[in-house]
Amino acid sequence: MTDAAPDDRPALHGEYKVHGGKLVIADLGVRDGRLADVRISGDFFLEPDEALDDILAALTGLPADAPVETLAAAIRRGLRPEAALVGFSPEAVAIAVRRALGLARTWRDHEWRIIGEQPVTPPMQMALDEVLAREVAAGRRPPTLRWWGWERPAIVIGNFQSLSNEVDLAQAQAHGIEVVRRATGGGAMLVEPGATITYSLYAPDALVADMSLADSYAYLDQWVITALQGVGIDAEYKPLNDIASPKGKIGGAAQRRFAGGAVLHHVTMAYDMDGEKMARVLRIGREKISDKGIASAAKRVDPVRSQTGLPREQVIERLTASFVALHGGTPDALTPGELAAAETLAAEKYASDAWLRRIP
C-alpha cells in the first residue's frame, strides 16, 4: 500500500518518456500547496550522483501549480556546474512532476474513440477535421482517432502554401483530381482512394501540455511508429514532421491547436503511389528535391505496400489494434450533428474558391 503524503492527498506518481531518450519518474506529495517528499527516478544517466540531490532540493517547496518553465529553471539553478544529464533534461523532470500532479495528462487518462473509414469528398475531409477538433475542445466528443476514407482523388495543399507554386492546375484537371486547402500547415500531397492511409487524432491539449511543438509531434507520432514496426517496417520519426524508414519517406504529419483546448494531429502515409502522376500534378521545387540528395520526388517516398506486402485494409486493422493495445479505444461513428456541421462548413469554406485561392 502506498504511504500517504504529509497532507490529505495521497502520494502522487507521474512518468514521462523522453523521445529518443530515457524514462523519468516523479513521486511526490503536496504540503500547503507546495511540493514535498519529492523523489525522481528513471533509467537516465546523471553525473555525479550528488546531482540528484540538487534536483530534489530545487523542486522541494516550489508551488504545486508552477509551470514547466519555472520548475526547469529552478532545477538548472540548483544543479552544480559539473552536472551532466544524459537522456533527459530539466524540462523532462518538470513534465513528470506535472503529470504526477495531474496538470499534464497521458494517453491512458483519456477514453479514446475510434472512427473507421467512411468515404467522403475532399472538402468534407477538411471540414470534419475542424468540426471534430472543435467538438473535442468543447467537451462534446471524447478524444478520437479517425481513419479517413477517400471518395475520390485529391491534392491537399497546406494552409500557407501558394496554390500556383504547388499545383499544376491544368494537369490536375486533366487527371480529374480535385484540389483543396487544409487547415494545417505543411506541404502538398496527392491522395488517391486505395493508395493512401490517412488518419487524424483529435485530443485535448492537456495531452501535449508543457511540450514544445517539436516534442509534441514526436510524442503524437510515437504510437504509429511502434505500430509500423509491428507490421515489419523499420519506421522512425524524422523531425519535424516526417515518418520515414531506411528505404525512404513513408508519410508526414501536420498539426493545429484550436482555441478552447484541442489539438488536431493528422498523418498521411503512402500505401501505394503513382510517382509519375505525382510529378506531373505537383510542382515540387528543384531545391526541395536537391536538398534531399535525390533525383526525383517519387524516389523520396517508399510506400507501405512495398515494405509489408499486406493489403491496405489489413494494415489499417493492425495499426488500429496497436493503438488500442497501447492507449485503449472503442469503436465509434460520426454523429448526425457532426456530419451536418461538416457539410455546412465544407460548402461555406473548404469547397469555396475564396479559401482555396486565399494564397494564389
DSSP string, 233-270: ---EEETTTEEEETTEEEEEEEEEEETTTEEEEEEEEE
Tens digit of each residue's pLDDT (9 = 90 or more) over 19-28: 778 999 999 9
What confidence category does residue 209 fall into, taking pLDDT thresholds of 50, 70 and 90? confident
Domain containing 193: what range? Answer: 107-356
325 and 183 co-located in one domain: yes
279 and 147 co-located in one domain: yes
Residue 204 inside a domain? The answer is yes
State the average pLDDT over residues 231-255: 93
**Rounded CA separation 309/313 (Å):** 12
75 and 137 co-located in one domain: no
State the average pLDDT over residues 215-241: 94
What confidence category does residue 102 fall into, taking pLDDT thresholds of 50, 70 and 90? confident
Question: What Cα–Cα distance (Å) separates residue 137 from each residue in 147, 171, 205, 348?
Answer: 19, 39, 8, 22
> Has residue 243 got a pLDDT over 60?
yes
Q: Are strands 149-150 and 119-120 parallel, antiparallel or unpaired?
A: parallel
> Has residue 10 got a pLDDT over 70?
no
Residue 36 inside a domain? The answer is yes
Residue 177 inside a domain? The answer is yes
State the average pLDDT over residues 244-265: 93
Share of the chain above pLDDT 90, in %: 81
Q: Using the 3D structure, point to which of 77, 100, 123 is the last residue of a domain.
A: 100
Cell of 165: 507554386
194 and 284 co-located in one domain: yes
201 versus 302: which is more confidently predicted?
201
199 and 278 co-located in one domain: yes
pLDDT at 297: 52
Cell of 157: 495543399
> Has residue 157 got a pLDDT over 60?
yes
First-to-last CA distance in the chain? 64
Residue 4 inside a domain? The answer is no
Residue 1 inside a domain? The answer is no
248 and 347 co-located in one domain: yes
With H, G, I as helix, E, B as strand and everything else as coil, classify residue 224: helix
> Has residue 286 got a pLDDT over 50?
no
185 and 224 co-located in one domain: yes
Q: Using the 3D structure, point to which of 62, 81, 100 is the last residue of a domain.
A: 100
147 and 254 co-located in one domain: yes
CATH number of the domain to which 53 belongs: 3.30.390.50
pLDDT at 248: 87
pLDDT at 355: 98
> Has residue 89 got a pLDDT over 90?
yes
Cell of 106: 497521458
What confidence category does residue 186 fall into, taking pLDDT thresholds of 50, 70 and 90? very high
State the average pLDDT over residues 53-81: 96
Q: Is 80 exposed, middle or buried (0-12, 13-18, 19+ CB in 10 A)?
A: exposed
**Looking at residue 20, what DSSP letter applies?**
T
Residue 63 inside a domain? The answer is yes
Question: What Cα–Cα distance (Å) separates residue 268 from each residue in 53, 165, 272?
Answer: 45, 21, 12
- Alpha-carbon dihedral sign for residues 180, 271, 289, 187: positive
**Looking at residue 63, what DSSP letter applies?**
B
Q: Which amino acid is at 169?
A: L
Residues 228 and 212 sit within 8 Å (Cβ to Cβ): no
112 and 82 co-located in one domain: no
- Average pLDDT in the chain: 91
121 and 181 co-located in one domain: yes
156 and 285 co-located in one domain: yes
Q: Is 44 exposed, middle or buried (0-12, 13-18, 19+ CB in 10 A)?
A: buried
153 and 221 co-located in one domain: yes
- Alpha-carbon dihedral sign for residues 100, 102, 105, 111: positive
**Domain count within the chain:** 2
Predicted TM-score of the model (pTM): 0.80
> Has residue 296 got a pLDDT over 70?
no
Tens digit of each residue's pLDDT (9 = 90 or more) over 303-345: 999 999 999 999 999 999 999 999 999 999 999 999 999 999 9
State the average pLDDT over residues 206-225: 91
Residue 349 inside a domain? The answer is yes
pLDDT at 103: 83
Residue 202 inside a domain? The answer is yes
pLDDT at 211: 86
> Has residue 270 got a pLDDT over 50?
yes
CB neighbour list of residue 162: distance below 8 Å, 6 or more residues apart: 359, 360
Tens digit of each residue's pLDDT (9 = 90 or more) over 105-149: 889 888 899 999 999 999 999 999 999 999 999 999 999 999 999
What confidence category does residue 274 fall into, taking pLDDT thresholds of 50, 70 and 90? confident
pLDDT at 299: 53
State the average pLDDT over residues 218-244: 95
Q: Using the 3D structure, point to which of 39, 73, 100 is the last residue of a domain.
A: 100
CATH number of the domain to which 345 belongs: 3.30.930.10
